[in-house]
C-alpha cells in the first residue's frame, strides 16, 4: 500500500507535500518522491528508503513551485530503489504520475508500449500509466486519464500533473481510496484524511471511478460514466493531534495506552453507563432481517480475523446463531454457499484492505446482507457495506493493530448481546448483567496496563529477546488471544512465532518444545483452565520456557510459569480484551529491545490495499 498527496494553491508545494508524506509514511516506506511544477517547469526528486532520505536531498536544493504531487511507496512491482520510486514520467518528461494500487495487466500494456518504441526506465507497473496517459493525451488531460483508466485493469488511485496545463492536477480512483481536500484558495488530494487535516477539514470522498480536476480555486469531478457530478463535502470532526505521538516513543505504545478509554467510550456510546439497552444505529438497515438470520459468516484479515474468531465464540455463546470465520483472501476466491438468511460480517480497522473489500463486493453481488465492523468512517467498506458499526478507536497509526483489535472485540460483544436480545435469547435483565460485566472491562484493562513494568522487564530477558522461535497457545477464547499474541510478536520483532490451539500440542507442535523455546500460555480462569494447566505441565516437563497469562490469585497456574503476567479475573467471553494488553506490551518491549522499527516494521504497511 502506498501514500499519495497532491497540492494546488499559492503556498510552497514542496513543504506541504513533505508534511503530507510524513503523515502517510505508515502506509509504506520503501521509497519516496515528489514532482513540483514551477510555472511550466516540472522537476522531480525521489530517493530510495525512508522519507528522511528525500528530505535530506531537498535540504539546500529545494523544488520551487506551488503545484505538485508526492508519494511514499510500499513496493509491489520492482524492487524498492530510486529508479522505481514514484513519481514516474512519460517519455517526454512532461507528465508525472503517482499511484497506489496494482495494474493487473501491466505486462501486456508494457509490451504494447515497447512495441511502439517506448523505452521504460523502471520495473514498475506505474510507469505504464505515465506512458498510457501520454499516448492518449490530445489536449485534454482528464480525458487522457479517463482513457488510461479504462485500458489499465486493477485497483488504483492516481494523481497526475503535466507541464503546460496551467496549474491543474488530475486525480482518479478505482479500488483504492482517494480524497479531495477543499482549502481556502488551495486544493489537496490524498490517500486519507489525516494527511491534509492540518490544512483543511472540508473533504470529499471520491467514489469508485471518479476523476477529479483540481485547480487552486475549483474542483470538477466526473463520475465513472464520464458525467459531471457534485460529491458531498464532509466537515471532518476528529483532530490532527489524534494522529500524533503525544510524548510516547512510538505510536504503538500510545495506542496500547488508549485502549481502556477507547473501549469505555464505545460501550458508553452504544449501551450507556447502566441498564440493559443497546443502541446500534448503524444496524438499522438490517433490523428487519436480523430475526430471520440463520447463519453469519465473518470475513477479515490478520488481526481482524483473530477478532472474528472471538466474534464467533461471542455470537454463538450469546445469540445462538451459527457462525463461520473466513480469511478474506480465501473467501473471495472460494465458491461459498451463501443464502439470503446469511449475514456476511466484515471486520476491518482501515476499511480499505483489498481482500476484505472484494469479499464484501462478492457477497453483495450474490445479494447477501453485509455488515461492516470498521474504524475509519468514509472508508470504502464503511460506505459500501449495507450497514456499518463503527469502532470509534480514532486514527491507528502503528502498523501493528492494538486499539483497532480491542475496539473490534468490544463492538463484537455489543453486537452479539444486541442480537441475543433481538432474538429473545437473553432477556433485558440478563442483558443488563452482561453489559455491567462488559462495563467493568476498561478499568481492568487499565490495571493490566499499570503492570507494564513487569512485562518490560520480562521482555528484556535474553531467553525471550534473543529467541529465534516462540509459540503461543490457548483454548477457547484463549485460542484467539494466542493467535493474536503470536502475530503481534512476529510482525514487529521478526522472531518466528506460531500460535496454536493448546489441544493440538500432542498432534505435532509439542515436538518443538525445548529449553530454547519460549511458550506463551493463555491460562486465564475459564471452563478449560484445568486443561491448560495440563498443557503447561507437559511443556514444563520438556524444558519449555513458559510465560503465563494468568488470572489474579491463580497460584496453581503461576507455579507452572517461568514468568507470569497476571490479569484481573473476568468472564471468559471478555478475557481476550484483557489478555491482549500484556501480549501487546510483550511484543512491543521485545521489538524495542531488539531495536526494531516498531511503528513501521519491515515489509509491512498499515493497510494492505493491494492483494
Ligand atoms: C495487524 O497488526 C496487522 N497490521 C494486519 O494483520 C491487519 O490486522 C490486517 O492487515 C487487516 O487490516 P484491516 O483491519 O485494516 O482490514
State which of 250, 252, 302 you would mutate to test the pocket of ligand 1, scoring each by most atoms of that ligand within 8 A of its C-beta.
Answer: 302
What is the pLDDT of the chain when averaged over all its residues?
Answer: 93
Short-list 294, 274, 270, CA closest to 282: 270
Among residues 280, 346, 480, the alpha carbon closest in space to that of 488 is found at 480
List the chain domain ranges: 3-243, 245-439, 449-598
Instruction: Indicate whether 223 pLDDT > 70.
Output: yes
Within a 10 A sphere around the Cβ of 92, how many other Cβ atoms?
A: 8
Which has the closest alpha carbon to 405: 282, 281, 306?
306
* pLDDT one-digit tens code per residue, 526-557: 999 999 999 999 999 999 999 999 999 999 99
- Residue 429 has a pLDDT of 95
Residue nearest to atom 8 of ligand 1 (CA): 303
Q: Is the pLDDT of residue 611 over 80?
A: no
Domain 3-243 matching CATH 3.60.20.10: the answer reads: yes
Q: Is 2 a catalytic residue?
A: yes
Q: Which of 28, 303, 347, 497 to mutate to test the pocket of ligand 1 (most atoms within 8 A of CB)?
A: 303
Query: Please, are residues 479 and 524 in contact by the beta-carbon 8 Å criterion?
Result: no
C-alpha 327 – ligand 1 centre gap (Å): 12
C-alpha span between 200 and 274 (Å, rounded): 38
**Extended strands (E) in 102-250:** 156-162, 169-174, 179-182, 187-190, 202-205, 211-215, 218-222, 234-235
pLDDT at 431 over 70: yes
Q: Identify whether the C-beta of residue 370 lies closer than 8 Å to the C-beta of residue 344.
A: yes
Span from the CA of 406 to the centroid of ligand 1 (angstroms)? 13
pLDDT digits (tens, 9 = 90+) for 169-222: 999 998 788 999 999 999 999 998 888 988 999 999 999 899 999 999 999 999
- Please determine, for residue 358, whether its predicted confidence score (pLDDT) is greater than 90: yes
Ligand 1 centroid to residue 380 C-alpha, Å: 15
List, in sequence order, every residue forming a beta bridge with 162; answer none if it has no partner. 95
Q: For the residues 422-430, what does the mean pLDDT come to?
A: 94
The Cα–Cα gap between 218 and 412 comes to 43
Q: Which atom of ligand 1 is nearest to the CA of 606?
A: 4
379 CA to middle of ligand 1, Å?
Answer: 15
Cα-trace Rg, the chain: 25
Residue nearest to atom 7 of ligand 1 (CA): 302
Best substitution site from 28, 177, 401, 489 to test ligand 1's pocket, by max atoms within 8 Å of Cβ? 401
What is the pLDDT at residue 243? 61
Whether pLDDT at 131 is above 90: yes
Digit-coded pLDDT (tens) for 443-469: 999 999 999 999 999 999 999 999 999
**Number of other residues whose CB lies within 10 A of the CB of residue 290:** 17
Which residue, among 590, 595, 561, has the nearest Cα to 456 in the 3D structure? 590
pLDDT of 436 above 90: yes
The number of angstroms, rounded, from the C-alpha of 109 to the middle of its chain's C-alpha atoms is: 31
More confident residue, 412 or 289: 412
Catalytic: which of 2, 219, 369, 561?
Answer: 2
**CATH fold for domain 245-439:** Rossmann fold (3.40.50)
| Four-CA torsion 108, 109, 112, 116, nearest 10 degrees | -160
In which order are the strands placed within the sheet that holds 211-215?
Answer: 88-89, 95-101, 156-162, 169-174, 211-215, 218-222
Q: Check pLDDT > 70 for residue 75.
A: no
Pick the residue whose CA is nearest to atom 4 on ligand 1. 400
pLDDT of 81 reads: 80
Quick one: cell of 280? 446500534
For residue 559, give the C-alpha cell: 507455579
Confidence check: pLDDT of 291 > 80: no
Check residue 76 and give its pLDDT: 65
Q: What's the predicted TM-score (pTM) here?
A: 0.76
β-strands 323-327, 295-300: how paired? Answer: parallel
pLDDT tens digits, residue range 91-121?
999 999 999 888 889 999 999 999 999 999 9
Q: How confident is the model at residue 340 (pLDDT cuts 50, 70, 90)?
A: confident
Q: What is the pLDDT of residue 304?
A: 98
Does the annotation mark 531 as catalytic? no
The whole-angstrom separation of Cα 571 and Cα 527 is 10
Task: Give the model's confidence band at 27: pLDDT under 50 very low, under 70 low, under 90 confident, else very high.
Answer: low
* pLDDT grade for 24, boundaries at 50, 70 and 90: confident
Give the E-state strand segments of 353-393 in sequence order. 369-374, 387-390
53 and 46 in contact (C-beta within 8 Å)?
Answer: no
Average pLDDT over residues 237-257: 81
CATH of domain 449-598: 3.40.50.10490
Cell reading at 378: 468514509
Ligand 1 interacting residues, C-beta cut-off 6 A: 301-304, 348-350, 353, 356, 399-401, 491, 607-608
pLDDT in tens, 266-287: 999 999 999 999 999 889 888 8
Whole-number Å distance between alpha carbons of 306 and 294: 22
Q: CATH topology of 245-439 equal to that of 449-598?
A: yes
496-501 β-sheet, strand order = 496-501, 469-474, 518-523, 545-551, 563-567
Tell me how far CA of residue 520 lies from CA of 66, 130, 444, 483, 548, in angstroms: 54, 50, 21, 11, 6
Phi, psi of 352 (to 5 degrees): -130, 0
Determine the average pLDDT of the residues in 228-250.
Answer: 80
d(CA 206, CA 201): 15
Could you tell me which residue, 64 or 192, shows the higher pLDDT? Answer: 64
Q: How far apart are the first and last CA of the chain?
A: 9
How far is 571 from 525, CA to CA, in rounded Å? 9
Ligand 1 centroid distance, CA of 606 (Å): 7
Place of cell 496549474: 167
pLDDT tens digits for range 33-42? 999 999 889 9
How many whole angstroms from 349 Cα to the centroid of ligand 1? 7
Amino acid at each position: 500500500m502506498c501514500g499519495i498527496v497532491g497540492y494546488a494553491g499559492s503556498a510552497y508545494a514542496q513543504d506541504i507535500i513533505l508534511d503530507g508524506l510524513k503523515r502517510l509514511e505508515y502506509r509504506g516506506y520503501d521509497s519516496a518522491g515528489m514532482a513540483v511544477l514551477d510555472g511550466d517547469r516540472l522537476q522531480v526528486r525521489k530517493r530510495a528508503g525512508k522519507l528522511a532520505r528525500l528530505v535530506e536531498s531537498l535540504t539546500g536544493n529545494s523544488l520551487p513551485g506551488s503545484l505538485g504531487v508526492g508519494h511514499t511507496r510500499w513496493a509491489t512491482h520492482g524492487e524498492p530503489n530510486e529508479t522505481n520510486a514514484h513519481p514516474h514520467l512519460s517519455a517526454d518528461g512532461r507528465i508525472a504520475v503517482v499511484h497506489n494500487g496494482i495494474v493487473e495487466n501491466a505486462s501486456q500494456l508494457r509490451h504494447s508500449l515497447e512495441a511502439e518504441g517506448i523505452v521504460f526506465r523502471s520495473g514498475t507497473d506505474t510507469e505504464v500509466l505515465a506512458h498510457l496517459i501520454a499516448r492518449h493525451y490530445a489536449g485534454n488531460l482528464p480525458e487522457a486519464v479517463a482513457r488510461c483508466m479504462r485500458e489499465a485493469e486493477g485497483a488504483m488511485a492516481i494523481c497526475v500533473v503535466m507541464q503546460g496545463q496551467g496549474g491543474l492536477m488530475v486525480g482518479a480512483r478505482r479500488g483504492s481510496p482517494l480524497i479531495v481536500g477543499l482549502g481556502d484558495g488551495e486544493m489537496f488530494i490524498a490517500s486519507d484524511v489525516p494527511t491534509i487535516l492540518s490544512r483543511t477539514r472540508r473533504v470529499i470522498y471520491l467514489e469508485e471511478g471518479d476523476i477529479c480536476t483540481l485547480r487552486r480555486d475549483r474542483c470538477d469531478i466526473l463520475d465513472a460514466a464520464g458525467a459531471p457530478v457534485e460529491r458531498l463535502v464532509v466537515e471532518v470532526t476528529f483532530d490532527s493531534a489524534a494522529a500524533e505521538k503525544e510524548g510516547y516513543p512510538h505510536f504503538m505504545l500510545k495506542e496500547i495506552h488508549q485502549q481502556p478509554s477507547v473501549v469505555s467510550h464505545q460501550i458508553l456510546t452504544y449501551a450507556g453507563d447502566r441498564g440493559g439497552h443497546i443502541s446500534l444505529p448503524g444496524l438499522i438497515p438490517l433490523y428487519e432481517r436480523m430475526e430471520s438470520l440463520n447463519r453469519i459468516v465473518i470475513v477479515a484479515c490478520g488481526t481482524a480475523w483473530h477478532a472474528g474468531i472471538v466474534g464467533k465464540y461471542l455470537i454463538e455463546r450469546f445469540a445462538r446463531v451459527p457462525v463461520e470465520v473466513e480469511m478474506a483472501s480465501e473467501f473471495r476466491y472460494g465458491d461459498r454457499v451463501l443464502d439470503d438468511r446469511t449475514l456476511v460480517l466484515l471486520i476491518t480497522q482501515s476499511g480499505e484492505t483489498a481482500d476484505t473489500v472484494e469479499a464484501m463486493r462478492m457477497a453483495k453481488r450474490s445479494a447477501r446482507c453485509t455488515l461492516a465492523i470498521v474504524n475509519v468512517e468514509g472508508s470504502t467498506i464503511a460506505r459500501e457495506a449495507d450497514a456499518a458499526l463503527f469502532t470509534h478507536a480514532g486514527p491507528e497509526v502503528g502498523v501493528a493493530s492494538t486499539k483497532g483489535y480491542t475496539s473490534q472485540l468490544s463492538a463484537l460483544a455489543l453486537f452479539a448481546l444486541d442480537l441475543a436480545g433481538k432474538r429473545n435469547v437473553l432477556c433485558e435483565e440478563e442483558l443488563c448483567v452482561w453489559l455491567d460485566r462488559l462495563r467493568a472491562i476498561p478499568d481492568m484493562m487499565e490495571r493490566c496496563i499499570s503492570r507494564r513494568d513487569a512485562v518490560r522487564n520480562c521482555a528484556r530477558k535474553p531467553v525471550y529477546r534473543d529467541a529465534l522461535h516462540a509459540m503461543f497457545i490457548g483454548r477457547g477464547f484463549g485460542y484467539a488471544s494466542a493467535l493474536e499474541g503470536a502475530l503481534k510478536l512476529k510482525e514487529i520483532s521478526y522472531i518466528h512465532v506460531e500460535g496454536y490451539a493448546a489441544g493440538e500440542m500432542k498432534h505435532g507442535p509439542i515436538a518443538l518444545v525445548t529449553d530454547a523455546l519460549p511458550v506463551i500460555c493463555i491460562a486465564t480462569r475459564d471452563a478449560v483452565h484445568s486443561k491448560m494447566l495440563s498443557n503447561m505441565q507437559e511443556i514444563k516437563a520438556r524444558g519449555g520456557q513458559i510465560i503465563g497469562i494468568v488470572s489474579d490469585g491463580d497460584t496453581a497456574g503461576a507455579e507452572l510459569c517461568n514468568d507470569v503476567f497476571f490479569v484481573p479475573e473476568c468472564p471468559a467471553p471478555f478475557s481476550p480484551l484483557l489478555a491482549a494488553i500484556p501480549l501487546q506490551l510483550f511484543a512491543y518491549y521485545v521489538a524495542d529491545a531488539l531495536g526494531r522499527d516498531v511503528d513501521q516494521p519491515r515489509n509491512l504497511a498499515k493497510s494492505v490495499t493491494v492483494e
